[in-house]
Structure 1
Amino acid sequence: MIELNALPVISAPLPWQSDAWSQCLQQLEQGRFPHALLISGAPGIGKSRFALALARLLLCHRPNAGHNCGECPACEHSRQGTHGDFRWVQAEGDSRVIKVDQIRDAINFAQWTAGFGQRKVLVLAPADDMNINSANALLKSLEEPAANTHMILVCQRLHGVPATVRSRCQLLKLPLPEAALSLDWLDQVTGDRQSSSALLKIAEQRPLQAEQLYREAGAEGALQQEDALTALVEHRMSVAEVHKVLGEVPPPELLIVLLSFVERWIKNMDAASLAASGRSAFALLDSLRLQQVAVAGGSNPNRQLFTESLLIRLRRELGPAQSNAKMPRNRRAMTK
């Protein structure tokens, strides 16, 4: 979730986003920037940061070197979260859904006359948090865009955004970054290349997810979680023992950890294991994704029961009788 106050003076794209950024700059220079842009890509690669940098650039009075200038009144207001022509819409409070009333307020905002400059900017992040009523409410504004108003929608599940909304936006897909760029950036967070490499591997090459793992659990904590899950699947630790390691992780973050683990486990399965039990492994993956959608949609399961049930299924579906996959068990193996 993006905090919109006390931002840096200049909001720049992340190092691996240079190609997409250049494309947007070219469209701006040629007067072809879309009224509605849908930014998609895997979680943890910086889509919201890209949207924020783009929004501040659009609002800036004197862009400099392809970024917002950081000095004009518009930049000062956007830095403090007080810009009247800028609206960022995301799920509020404990809700994980962008509600229809929020979209209606956003539509009203889009109809206003710009007060600070020539443009208004509306960001929905993530747009796949809209429920069906919210998406339907947004359609009219997409079909009949207000003058000098740009909408930027951010999503990580492209098909979580209704086709009627997708078809009215220009799509910009952000790919997974190259490992070298991610590691150089992550080293500034961890201060240690070995930790950066281990975290990036756990996070499936998603640098902001690796950063989140580091902020929440530290490198050692993230590796401990990984080792505990591996030991669970290999029947070297019990569900109760692994629950002690993961029991305090909230359901949304737990699902991210488990999805990443299962994806890597499947990649490490040999051909015989895939033929014998690949179906159950992929069914587990699909189930976790459905659980993720449910939690994002507002489901609030009992944390203990939720964690235990997922660990039991993980052990059953990926255990020795099901798979010959091998996972690294220590820091040295993780960083090779």
Structure 2
Amino acid sequence: MDLTRLPEISPPLPWHADAWTRLHQQLGDQRLPHALMLAGLDYSGADRLALALARLLLCHSPSGGLNCGTCHGCQLSASGTHGDFMWLAPEEGSRVIKIDQVRQAVDLAQQTANFGAHKVIVFEPADAMNVAAANALLKSLEEPSAGTHLILVCGRPHGVPATIRSRCQMLKLASPTAEQSLVWLDQLTGDRQSSSDLLELADGKPLLAEAMYRNPDDKDQHVARLTCRSLFQGKVSAAEATGLLAGASAPETIEHLLAATQSFIRRLNGQALTSPVSREAFLLLDELGRLRMSVEGGANPNPQLLAEVMVGKVDQLLGLARADDTIGA
């Protein structure tokens, strides 16, 4: 998320209306927790909710339940120069939030607010903190300073150490329905068919669909996603898929194969769910999940070799599926 060119006002997404109402009520009752974990699926907008709440807390004159967009606090937060606001995410080229980043956040948490009554620190995604970083955060969670709000955005809460989770109030966020996603995307595309095509390509994830629409030139990402889907649909061979994935990183290849495998499993008919094909599909899904966890833990597999091996396993699965006339995928 680019925090240097924000719009004047940052609203939550429509499907988070209930969560927003709850946060507003807590804020009005002065019961907003010092440490809040927003748990929502990837690309469903938990980071947007965190941003809306952060800017509301930093605003000097909230209006209509949102930040006003015109006060000094809003101007600073919109330009990314607010001294009481920090957004921690993995640095470029890294997949983890490092201890030095967290130490800077802890330093801010211990200071007095300079521009208003609140300081806000967002960790996104919180499960990207390595062990040392998480340990460094504990002090701020155990000894909160006045006016400091820690917001942890997380797609996989159990990827965050229990010592951190237990000190946060968790708010589980609703995922959008297909109709909610389409209505929201219609405002972007202006066309229902385009919205539907985008959402289908993005595996039902509206913010991923938005990113694909806004960045049509990000060819490597689009090619990788289409390649993995086309492989499962029999539109490209294993050799062609391996070549097309040459421009993708190992994490990207893993994510796209995971999404395509999940989509394949969802399309299995009732009888096929008890077949050897289903068993092999779930084994592949588990292996991809372990690979993702390994990469998130710092492993750095060779992208080309990983693509060759995993595409080969997908090809074996599809060969088994073709030989089984109970498959209705």
What TM-score, normalized by structure 2, do the two folds share?
0.91
- 2:308 is aligned to 308
State whether structure 2 residue 66 is matched by structure 1 residue 61.
no
Mapped partners of 1:212, 1:171: distance in 2: 27
Would the alpha carbon gap of residues 26 and 208 (structure 1) be closer, same or farther in structure 2, given more than 3 Å must change?
A: same
Would the alpha carbon gap of residues 36 and 134 (structure 1) be closer, same or farther in structure 2, given more than 3 Å must change?
A: same
Work out the percentage of aligned pairs sharing the same amino acid. Answer: 49
State whether structure 2 residue 253 is matched by structure 1 residue 251.
no
Q: How many corresponding residue pairs?
A: 326
- 1:275 is aligned to 274
Mapped partners of 1:323, 1:39: distance in 2: 44
State whether structure 2 residue 111 is matched by structure 1 residue 112.
yes
Mapped partners of 1:292, 1:323: distance in 2: 32
For the 8 Å contact 2:23–2:32, the answer to whether it is kept is: yes
**Code of the aligned partner of 2:283:** A
Cα RMSD for the two superposed structures: 2.4
For the 8 Å contact 2:232–2:264, the answer to whether it is kept is: no
State whether structure 2 residue 180 is matched by structure 1 residue 173.
no
Would the alpha carbon gap of residues 165 and 318 (structure 1) be closer, same or farther in structure 2, given more than 3 Å must change?
A: farther
* Matched position secondary structure for 1:145: coil
- 1:333 is aligned to none
For the 8 Å contact 1:203–1:260, the answer to whether it is kept is: no
* Matched position secondary structure for 1:287: helix
Written as runs of structure 1 = structure 2, the 5 A alignment for 1:218-257 is: 228-229=227-228, 232-233=231-232, 237-257=236-256
Structure 2 residues without counterparts, runs of 5 or longer: none
Mapped partners of 1:245, 1:143: distance in 2: 49
Would the alpha carbon gap of residues 116 and 309 (structure 1) be closer, same or farther in structure 2, given more than 3 Å must change?
A: same
What TM-score, normalized by structure 1, do the two folds share?
0.89
Would the alpha carbon gap of residues 85 and 230 (structure 1) be closer, same or farther in structure 2, given more than 3 Å must change?
A: closer
Mapped partners of 1:251, 1:322: distance in 2: 31
- 2:5 is aligned to 6
Per-residue deviation at 1:72? 0.7
For the 8 Å contact 1:42–1:176, the answer to whether it is kept is: yes
Mapped partners of 2:5, 2:235: distance in 1: 47
- 2:125 is aligned to 126
- 2:183 is aligned to 184
Structure 1 residues without counterparts, runs of 5 or longer: 328-336
Would the alpha carbon gap of residues 228 and 117 (structure 1) be closer, same or farther in structure 2, given more than 3 Å must change?
A: closer
Would the alpha carbon gap of residues 169 and 223 (structure 1) be closer, same or farther in structure 2, given more than 3 Å must change?
A: closer
Per-residue deviation at 1:191? 3.6
Would the alpha carbon gap of residues 292 and 114 (structure 1) be closer, same or farther in structure 2, given more than 3 Å must change?
A: same
Residue by residue over 1:238-284, the C-alpha shift from the partner in whole angstroms, topping out at 9 and shown as x without a partner, is 21212344332333333332222111111111233221222221121
Written as runs of structure 1 = structure 2, the 5 A alignment for 1:1-336 is: 2-216=1-215, 228-229=227-228, 232-233=231-232, 237-277=236-276, 278-319=278-319, 320-321=322-323, 324-327=326-329
Mapped partners of 1:106, 1:139: distance in 2: 12
**Code of the aligned partner of 2:252:** E
Per-residue deviation at 1:193? 1.7
Would the alpha carbon gap of residues 220 and 304 (structure 1) be closer, same or farther in structure 2, given more than 3 Å must change?
A: closer
* Matched position secondary structure for 2:271: helix
For the 8 Å contact 1:200–1:207, the answer to whether it is kept is: yes
